[in-house]
Chains A and B, each alone.
Chain A
Amino acid sequence: MKNAMHIKNPARKIALTIAVSAALAGTPAFADETSCSPYTPLIKGQEDLVYVWTLGVKGVGDGSDKLVTVDVNPKSKTYGKVIHKLSLGGRGEVHHVGLSDDRRYLWGGALDSNKIYIFDIGTNPAKPKLTKTITDFVQKTGYVGPHSFIAMPGRMLITPLSNNKDHGGETGVVVYNNKGDYVGHHAMPKEHGGDGYGYDAGINPQKNVFLTSSFTGWNNYMMDLGKMVKDGEAMKRFGNTSVMWDLKTMKPLKVFQTPGAPLEVRWSWKAGDNWAVTTTALTSKIWVYKQDAKGEWQVKDVATIGDPAKIPLPVDISITADGRGMWINTFMDGTTRYWDMSDPMKPKETFTKQIGSQVNMVSQSFDGKRVYFTTSLLGNWDKKGKDDEQFLKMYNWDGKDLKLAFEIDFYKAKLGRAHHMKFQARDLSTLKPLDMASSLPALLAQKQ
C-alpha cells in the first residue's frame, strides 16, 4: 500500500497548532440529504421536517438528551417551530443519527452511554416514537462511542470511535440488522500504515467500496477541550488515516495517510463521478479520493481551508447532489464556506458567511436551495460563556447569498445543544431512490 500524501510528524504539528491557539477546538458532525446512505430513499422536493439530535444541558429544560422535531415546510402554519420533542430521560453525549434503508426509522447514538436509540419516524413522522434502545453495543463489539449510522440493505453500518480496553482511538466497523440485533464487526486495519482509528463512512455501490475516516477515542472526546490541548500525549492520539474497503467482503483494500483527523466522508452522487472527499480538522485540508488510470484508489490534498495558522477547524461538510459544490463549516470562526467543486482536483472557495459564534453542522436540501446550520460539537468541546450559542438556523441559498429564513435559539427554547440533523417527509410515498443509474436495456445488453 502506498501513502498518498504525508506531513512529517502530524501529531506534533497538531499539538503545536492547537497549543498556539487560546481558542477552543471542535469536532465533527455530518448531516443533510446528500449525506444519506445511497440505499436510503430521498426527499428530492421540499422537506417537511427536520429532526435535531440534541444534547441535554443541566439546568436547561429537563436537562435530558432529546430528539427535537421542527416543522420546516414554508406552507405549514407551524413553519420554523418546534412541534415535538422526545426526551430520553438522561444524558449520554448524543451525537449523530442515521436513516434506515426505508426511511421509516431513525437511529441515534450516544458517545458516552454507548446506547443506540431506534425511533419510528414512518408511522407518524411528526411524532417520532422510540421503539428500541440497544444496550449491548460494547458487550457485543468491544467498541465504544457509536458514531455514524449508514444504512445498508436490511442493516445498519455503524462506525464507533473508541474501544473498551483503553478508551483510545482504535476501533472498527459494526453491523446490526434493521431489527437492532448484532450481526458482526470488523477491526480497522493496523497494518500497511493503518492506525486503527475510525470515525465516518461513505458507501459507493457502483464501485463496491466504502471509505472510512478517523478521529479520536473516548479519552479525548470526553475530556474538557482546554485541558486536552495542553496535554501533549493526548494530542498525539488523533487519527491520521483513512481506509478504502471492499463493501461485499468487508475487507480493507488500501490505507491512506491523511494526517490531522479526516472527518466526514462524502461521495459525489453525479453519475460516473466516483470520487470522494473529506476534510482534515486539524490540518485544514480538503482531500479527494479517486481511482488512477490503473484503477487503484489514490488520495490527494487538493486545497487548504482558511488560514491553518488561525485554526479555522473545518468540521461538517455538505456536498451538492450534483457534486459541483460543497459547504464547509469552520467551527472556530463560526463561518460557513462554499467551495466550487466543478473540478474536484482544483476546488475554489467562492463564498463565506459567519453563521454564529460557533457552527458545526450543515445540511442542505437535495436541490441545494435550503441550508440548515446547528452549533454543538461535543458537550465538553463547545465554546464557553456567551460564545456558547446553540441554535438551528435555516437559510435560503440562491447561488450568491445565504438569506436567513428562520432560527430557533435552543437555549431560550429550553432544549439544549443542537447537534445532528436529518430531514423527513410527512408522506413517505413521495420519497425517491438515489438513482445513480444506467438503463435496464443497457443492463440487459451488457456482458458481465
Chain B
Amino acid sequence: MGFPAMSHQTRLLIRGGFFFTGWLMACLASAAPIMDFVPPPAGSYRLERIQPASEGAVLDADGRRRRLSEFTQGRVTLLAFMYSSCADPNGCPYALTVMHMVKSELEKLPETRGRVRFVSLSFDPVRDTPQTLALYGRDHSGAGQHLAWDFLTTRSRRELLPILNGFGQDVGVDIDKATGKPVGTYSHVLKVFLIDRQRTVREIYTTDYLLPAMVLNDIKTLLIEEGVRLK
C-alpha cells in the first residue's frame, strides 16, 4: 500500500487558512502506532456488532440541515470527529492522515465505488462553520476521487452533545486556569468509527489502534460480508 504525499493535505490547509504551521509541526512530532505484524486478510474474520450509530441533526458543507443517518447508512462509513484548529499530534491530524491513506487505496479499487463513504464531524460548531468545512471538502471531489468524504458540523454544542454521547465520544473544553476562559482547544480521545450499511458500529479505532492497513482490511471485510467481490 503506497501512501499519498503530504502535499495533498498541506495544500488543503493552506487554502483553508488554518493553523498550518502548528499543524505541520504537530504532524512532524506526531506519534503514530507501530504495526509490527501482518494484518489478517480481509474477509478472514468477523467484526463484532458493537453498538448502533448515533443520530442527530447536522449541517452539511452547504449549510443545509440534515440528519446524520443520511451519512451513515447505505454505505460502509468511516466517521471521525475532528476540529480544524486541532494541533494534537495524536488527534485530528493523525486521523486525517490515516483517512487520506485509506481513501487513496480504496480509490484504486473500482468495486468500492459508491459503497464507501468518509465523514468528518466537527467538535467545534462555533468556529467550524459550513463555509470553513467546505474548504476541506472541496479537495475531495477532483478527478479520480470517487470516494465521498463529507465534512459536517452542527448548529450548536447543544445539538452536538447527544451525537457525541450516542457514539461514546468524550470531549472536554480546555480552560485557561489563569483566566477561566476556553483556550480554543478540546481534550478528547481520538476515536474513529467504522459503520456498516445498517448503521451498526463494527469497529472503533483509537490512537494505538488506528492503523491504515487494518482500517483498509476492515472496510474490505464489511464489503465482502455484503457480497462485494474484491479483486
Q: How far is the CB of A10 from chain B (nearest CB, A)?
A: 32
What is the interface size of chain B, counting residues whose CB is below 8 A from a CB of the partner?
A: 48
The stretch of A1-9, A179-187, A219-227 that contacts the partner chain:
A179-187
The answer to whether B37 touches A439 (Cβ under 8 A) is no
Candidates B31, B89, B170; contact of A102 at CB < 8 Å: B170
Write out the residue numbers on chain B whose beta carbons fall within 8 Å of the beta carbon of A101.
189, 206
Instruction: Say yes or no for B3: interface residue by CB 8 A criterion.
Output: yes
Binding stretch for chain B, among A56-64, A254-262, A430-438 = A430-438
Cβ–Cβ contact B201 & A435, under 8 A: no
B34 contacts A433, C-beta separation under 8 Å: no
Name the A residues within 8 Å of B97 (CB-CB). Answer: 440, 443-444
A447 and B1 contact, Cβ closer than 8 Å, known pairs A183-B49, A248-B40, A440-B89 = yes
Convert B33-51 into 0s and 1s, putting 1 for each residue whose CB lies closer than 8 angstroms to a CB of A.
Answer: 1111101100011001111
Complex: A429 Cα to B189 Cα, angstroms: 10
**Is there an interface contact between B45 and A448, defined as CB atoms closer than 8 Å?**
no
Say yes or no for B125: interface residue by CB 8 A criterion: no
Q: Which of B144-170 contact A (CB under 8 A)?
A: 168, 170
Q: Which of B13-21, B106-114, B135-143, B208-216 contacts A (4 or more CB under 8 A)?
A: B208-216
Bitwise interface map of A from 139 to 153 toward B, beta carbon under 8 Å scored 1, else 0: 000000000000011
Contact between A208 and B39, CB atoms less than 8 A apart: yes
Within 8 A of A (CB), among B1-39: 1-3, 6, 27-37, 39
| A441 near B28: Cβ-Cβ < 8 Å | yes
Q: How far is the CB of B97 from chain A (nearest CB, A)?
A: 6
Q: Is the CB of B31 within 8 A of A428?
A: no
Return the contact of A41 from the options B45, B189, B205 (Cβ within 8 A): B189
Whether B206 contacts A206 by the Cβ 8 Å rule is no
> A206–B39 contact, CB under 8 A?
no
A17 within 8 A of B: no
Taking chain A's interface residues, is the majority helix, strand, or loop, or is none over half, making it mixed? loop
| CB within 8 Å for A154 and B168 given contacts A39-B208, A101-B206, A179-B51 | yes
Q: Is the CB of A102 within 8 A of B189?
A: yes
Whether, in the assembled complex, B90 has its beta carbon less than 8 Å from a beta carbon of chain A, the answer is yes
Let me know if B209 and A447 touch, CB within 8 A.
no
Q: Of A153, A208, A209, which one neighbours B206 at CB under 8 angstroms?
A: A153
Determine the chain B residues whose CB is within 8 A of the CB of A443 once the complex forms. 32, 97, 212
Given contacts A434-B208, A447-B1, contact A154 B201 (CB under 8 A): yes
Q: Of residues 91 to 117 in B, which have CB atoms within 8 Å of A's CB atoms?
A: 93-94, 97, 101
B170 touches A153 (CB 8 A): no
Contact B214 A248 (CB under 8 A): yes
Among A39, A184, A428, the residue within 8 A (CB) of B187 is: A428
CB distance from A431 to the nearest CB of B (A): 8
- Determine whether the beta carbon of B170 is less than 8 Å from that of A122: yes
Instruction: Report B172 CB to chain A, min CB distance, Å.
Output: 6
CB-based nearest A residue for B101: A444
A177-B51, A435-B90, A444-B97 given; A207·B37 CB < 8 A: yes
The complex places the Cα of A48 from the Cα of B109 at a distance, in Å, of: 51
List 13 other contacts, CB 8 Å, given A178-B168, A179-B51.
Answer: A39-B209, A104-B170, A153-B203, A179-B168, A208-B35, A208-B39, A433-B31, A437-B32, A437-B33, A438-B32, A438-B34, A440-B93, A441-B27
- For the complex of A and B, the 5 pairs showing the least CB-CB separation, nearest first, are A154-B204, A437-B31, A440-B30, A249-B45, A448-B213
Interface residues in chain A, defined as those with a beta carbon under 8 Å from any beta carbon in chain B: 38-39, 41, 101-102, 104, 122, 152-155, 175, 177-179, 181, 183-184, 205-209, 246, 248-251, 271-272, 274, 428-429, 431, 433-444, 447-448
